Amino acid sequence: MSQLRIRGGSRLQGEADIQGAKNSILPILAATLLTADQVELRGCPRLRDVDASIHILRDLGCRARWEGENTLLVDTRALDGCAVSERLMREMRSSAIFLGAILARCGQAELSYPGGCELGPRPIDLHLSGLRDLGAEIDDAGGVLHCKAPRLKGREIVLSLPSVGATENLMLAACGASGVTTITGAAQEPEIVDLQNFLSACGARVSGAGSSTVSVEGGRPLHGCTYTVMPDRIAAATYLCAAASAGGEIFLRGAREEHLSTVTAVLREAGCSILSDAAGIACASRDRLSAVRPVRTAPYPGFPTDAQAILMAALLKSRGATVFEENMFSSRYRHVDELSRMGADIRVSGRAAVVTGTERLHGAPVRCTDLRGGAALCVAALAAEGETTVREIGHIDRGYEDIARDLRRLGADIVRL
């Protein structure tokens, strides 16, 4: 099995391009089912989760093929199924997003509960409740979702919390419903806006994405399009934190600071110099970082839970102590034990973790516990003395096209073995 070998202690220097967004491309791939046409997706990242989505599309009778490095052609005209196997559903948590699209296209769907990183309970109750509001009949006995919706009808749906997955699933289902659907309490992430932009390019009438209320005028035939996926804000945050951790000066082409301003604000507070324009983001870290005010994860536009472990890793050698409060997932400190192997001083109590900066970190054999926890180990290894081996990197491959390649371009001593 592959692993990463990282030799720390060197400052970073260089430029790298930011891949297309993982959390955008997955709902967009599900949305291609609504078109019954061919779609050309540019800037599509080559990830394990993208491969899983392609397998689902092909299993449903669709065609998908790569053209060049990062262009994916998807043709859903030959769709001939409405059931996704348990094996494919278990490959990733985001597979639940196919439910709304299949229902809208076929009027029925059969899926098992999805898999993915073990970050604590992430029920899809809001997805199912919203789909029932649109007229779907759902039987979830035995861990398999048997869904029927010969006629979806638009209506107002109020989400009790801003679930990204539920917002996206309901947007897709609403495209196939008659009348207008209004989603109140919607998630506001940039990836929701990207999904709206894709649907609009296919002929849908969707508005309000980026706010707490999204409106969808359903029942319109959709067509194919050519679309470029937004850059991945969490990948950008990872490489900014890598520079903060190791020190040095880097430039990330394509990164958009408006998508990760809460992260850059914390890095500036810690002592980094960050400049951005339409071309990307530059980050310089010249001195030892300082501890920052408490970091509390929250739905967008709050601090992203996906960046919590990565920022934690960047602050392991800071002056002082920083408090983290994880409010999104109950098991998102699983990376702490692995960071401790490298000399990190982290104490966890419930949802809180206190990171006390230490002057030295040392290389160690560590393993990935989840996607972002794995990236955090890489960030920490860059600031550690000696060699770190990171095992079970399949988690990292779910969300990073080639983290070793990108970090090498930024001057890191890292290889995939």
Pairing of strands 156-158, 144-148: unpaired
Query: CA 366, 369, 375, 378: dihedral to nearest 10 degrees?
Result: 0
Q: Alpha-carbon distance 335 to 312, whole Å?
A: 10
- Coil, strand, or helix at residue 385? strand
- The dihedral through the CA atoms of 142, 146, 147, 148 has a sign that is negative
d(CA 130, CA 254): 35
CB 280 within 8 A of CB 252: yes
**Residue 331 CB contacts under 8 Å (≥ 6 apart), including other chains:** 118, 119, 120
Taking the C-alpha atoms of residue 279 and residue 72, their distance in angstroms, rounded to an integer, is 24
Cα(113)–Cα(266) distance, integer angstroms: 36
130 and 201 Cβ atoms separated by less than 8 Å:
no
Distance CA 229, CA 247 (A): 30
Q: Which of 62, 82, 117, 175 is catalytic?
A: 117
Q: Does the active-site annotation cover 117?
A: yes
User: What is the C-alpha separation between 184 and 189, in angstroms, rounded?
Assistant: 14
Decide: residue 284, CB within 10 A, 0-12 exposed, 13-18 middle, 19+ buried: middle
Strands 226-228, 38-42: pairing is parallel
Torsion, Cα of 236, 241, 242, 244 (10° steps)? 130
Looking at residue 362, what DSSP letter applies?
Answer: B
Q: How far apart are CA 129 and CA 115, in angstroms?
A: 20
For helices 190-201 and 164-175, angle between their N-to-C axes, nearest 10 degrees: 10
Q: If we measure between CA atoms, which residue out of 375, 370, 396, 337 comes closest to residue 115?
A: 370
Q: SS3 for 103?
A: helix
Please say whether the dihedral angle defined by the alpha carbons of residues 416, 25, 380 and 241, taken in this order, is positive or negative. positive
Q: Which residues are catalytic?
A: 117
